Chains A and B, each alone.
Chain A
Amino acid sequence: MNNLDPIAVFRTEAAEQLELIEAGLLDLTRDLDDKGQIDAVFRGLHTLKGSGSMFGFDQLAAFTHHCETAFDRVRKGEAPATSELIAAVLDAQGHMQALLDQPNGDHDAMSTKLLEQLHRAVGREASSTSHPTTGKPKEAPAEPSRRTWQLDFRLPADSMVNGTNPLGLIDELRDLGECGLSVNSDQLPPLDAMDPTQLYLGWNATIVTDKPRSEIEDVFIFVMDEMVMDLKDVTPASAPVVPETTLAQPAEVHPNEVPSAREEQRTPAADAKSQRQSDNVRVPALRLDEMMDRVGELVIAQSRLSQMAGSVVDLGLRSVSEEIERLAGELRDTMMVLRMMPVASLFSRFRRLVHDLARETGKEIELVTTGETTEVDKTVIDRLADPLVHLVRNSIDHGLELPQDRIASGKPAVGQVVLSAHQTGSEVVITIKDDGRGIDRARVRAKAEANGLIQPGQSLSDQELLQQIFQPGFSTAEKVTNLSGRGVGMDVVKKTIEALRGSIDVKSDEGTGSEIALRIPLTLAIIDGLLVRVGNGNYVIPLSAVEECLELSLEEDLRSRGRSFISLRDDLVPFLRLRELFRTGSQPDPYQKVVVISTGRERVGLVVDQIIGDHQTVIKSMSKLHDQVSSFSGATILGDGNVALILDVAHLIAAGQQQEAQLRAAG
């Protein structure tokens, strides 16, 4: 594991550190007296400074130093925590991110500006605080080459207990040059009064060396402050050095000054939050992906084994095969859990976003998050970040009204954005809900018509109309504001969600707010699927989307020909004949089956030749070459070595809805 780059690790760690600092600061905005958070922020800043300078991020280290100093004063009770200070450090925190991203950039102007702001907030003039410097003991000016030194020293009595080894120090002295030594035992107490852990001896040394004075002193660098040391240059004019020395003047007993410092140091309370963190092991996601791949291969090999074992009568082989099946299943489940992360990591970044947007827009916003402990595959979390940012921005920019408008319409001045997550079966539903003005349907329609997305007067269901906001190039904002015009459109959001095999539901009540629900599979790596046969090919339908399976008799098939609707408990459900869609060119089985799939509201039946059974499958994503193939979201390898394609449910439902619309339009 030595091949990992410490600087890369530092960057990741610094980013996390910055997030923690930010979270701490945001908590402080609510409770300025939160001692625990003040300590936590200080610790974060301190660590960031220390390791920043370790890894050559000098600008970051120097800048962070000032914030740390400010917080140190707060921590020690020398300055109050004010909202002004917190705001200043929050701004500084953003700047630290920039210093981290571009350690060699020119940040001086910004740094100076932020530091002024910081110093104003602390109520103190710009810095008497020094930059952290790389402290080397100052070198004495070069001294004439070979000199003789008389050194008398007595180490602190408790120095051996604290790990200082006098013999080691004496060896170091010997390494400097010629060294004559004698022991000074005049402070040795009577035997019965001796404490075996104490050091009672002193030494007298004569050293002849060409090394400077500072090197002799450096030997004692760790004990310098508490020890008694007398170092004299006794280089004789011409006389040779006499190694044997007389006893030095009796060394004074140095009063021990340290006990006052022994008083109990404040121990930061072990809050549950940091406890959790220290229990974790950080593993690069890439390694988990590699491991997932191996587990995938194992599961495939195992299912071949089961198939072979099933076809022979060898009971021993069967029992081994069952054992392997169980183990592979458990391994796969464990693997899945390893990849799961709480969405808290995703949600936490929104506190800052909302805080910044509130300042930018002049709106008052309260962010509520629920279900943070809901866990989702890491890949999903990573890919959800951008769409969520966009949706939250949208809610705030387009949804929430200004405080005065809210009051005028009888709402509280503070608008609310609720981010919530919960799990349903093999899906996680992430909802962004606001209590703003809601989506103006008339305006959506007008805009869609103006952009040629729908025909004037075309009849649309409410959901269809609302889904227009996901069309490329659609925006209901009258002007592109700083917030919304950031290059990501709702169409990109929708694409990203669909690429995750997820779907989006929109609900909106004019005047009272909107709710956008993202339904995402928990993992992208493994799905529970329904294995079906169409013609000669095998396909997997994600089980989470399957509602029910029906039989489609030949007569019914003939009767419905050209109409492609089946009646399902008084409901007409459009269906797609996969045989036709995939152009298998084969004869349909006499008893075809219809698999009804749904995403929330929309339902579509898929006509297949045979339902083989449920199949847990490890998804292999398709190559770039197949990017254009929209009906499939991936492939899997079956026990017999054959490949089965995984059907893309969202796409098929869209196709079904389109077909339904066409048929309706055709009357």
Chain B
Amino acid sequence: MSANILTVDDSASIRMTTRIALTNAGYNVTEAVDGADGLQKLKSGNFDLIVTDLNMPNMDGLTMIRNLRQLPAYMGTPVIFLTTESDGDIKQQAKAAGATGWLTKPFDADNLTKIARKVLGR
């Protein structure tokens, strides 16, 4: 059974790019438009991997990661966050919040699926 991935990004174009890449790689993709939306979808679904942006309205990625780590169902679920080179210490903050790894923007489909495979182990 292919893994279920939740992508959380306020940018529709990035969501579309990640969805196309991950769907082509055979994963099931669900989208959320910000952290609040993401958290809600996490609570009502069952995901094997979360790919999230950090800067978003309503609820940013860091807060969402912190919240999802409070959910017993998502203890140990990998979370990859999207970041830019200039984000500097934000990586540290995201790791502390409970993220598994990151992907630097700009990324392409190969980067993304490689990372997904890496953390999912499949």
Contact = CB atoms under 8 A, between A and B. Distances in A.
Do A and B actually bind? yes
A268 B57 CA distance: 7
Nearest to A169: B118
**Most chain B C-beta atoms within 10 Å of own C-beta, residue among A7, A162, A172, A275:** A162
Interface in A258-312: 258-259, 261-262, 265, 267-268, 270, 274-275, 277-278, 282
A167 interface: yes
A10 B13 contact: yes
Interface in B42-89: 53, 55-60, 62-63, 66, 69, 75-79, 82, 84-86
Contacts of B12: 9, 12-13, 282
Contacts of A278: 10, 33-34, 36-37, 57-58
A107 B63 CA distance: 38
Interface stretch (A46-54, A393-401, A547-555, A564-572): A46-54
A166 to B, nearest CB: 11
Nearest to A219: B118
A164 to B, nearest CB: 6
B23 A53 contact: no
A6 B20 contact: yes
A168 interface: yes
A258 B96 CA distance: 6
Interface residues of A, number: 54
Between B16, B20, B62, B79, the greatest number of chain A beta carbons within 10 A of the residue's beta carbon is seen for B16
A275 B58 contact: yes
Nearest to B100: A163
B12 to A, nearest CB: 5
Contacts of A167: 121
Interface string A124-149: 00000010111100000000000000
A167 B119 CA distance: 10
A2 interface: yes
A54 B14 contact: yes
B55 A46 contact: yes
A221 B101 contact: yes
Nearest to A69: B86
B13 A51 contact: yes
B57 A265 contact: no
Contact of A7 (B13, B55, B79): B13
B11 A47 contact: yes
By CB atoms of chain A within 10 A, which of B37, B59, B95 has the most? B95
Contacts of A226: 95
A47 to B, nearest CB: 6
Contact of B93 (A49, A54, A162, A265): A265
Given A4-B16, A162-B100, A163-B78, A168 B84 contact: no
B11 A13 contact: yes
Interface string B94-122: 01111111101111000000000011110
A10 to B, nearest CB: 4
Nearest to A262: B96
Contacts of B59: 267, 270
A620 interface: no
Contacts of B33: 278
B34 A222 contact: no
Contacts of A43: 55-57
B63 A267 contact: yes
A163 B79 contact: yes
B37 A265 contact: no
Contact of A51 (B14, B56, B93, B118): B14
A478 B102 CA distance: 63
A55 B20 CA distance: 14
A217 interface: no
A135 B104 contact: yes
A161 B119 contact: no
Contact of B92 (A51, A135, A225): A225
B97 A163 contact: no
A127 to B, nearest CB: 12
Interface centre among A55, A259, A268, A277 (most CB of B within 10 A): A268
Nearest to B93: A261
A132 B17 CA distance: 20
A65 interface: yes
A133 B97 CA distance: 26
Contacts of A47: 10-11, 55
Contact of B13 (A55, A135, A164, A277): A55
Nearest to B98: A162
Nearest to A256: B96
Most chain B C-beta atoms within 10 Å of own C-beta, residue among A6, A46, A225: A6
Contacts of B119: 163-165, 168, 222
A265 B120 CA distance: 28
A312 B90 CA distance: 74
A13 B12 CA distance: 7
A171 interface: yes
A248 to B, nearest CB: 25
A40 B55 CA distance: 10
Interface of A: 2, 4, 6-7, 9-10, 12-13, 40, 43, 46-47, 49-51, 53-55, 65, 68-69, 130, 132-135, 160-165, 167-168, 171-172, 197, 221-222, 225-226, 258-259, 261-262, 265, 267-268, 270, 274-275, 277-278, 282
5 contacts: A9-B16, A132-B85, A163-B99, A258-B92, A267-B59
Given A12-B12, A134-B85, 11 more contacts: A46-B55, A132-B86, A135-B104, A162-B99, A163-B100, A168-B121, A171-B121, A259-B96, A265-B93, A267-B59, A282-B12
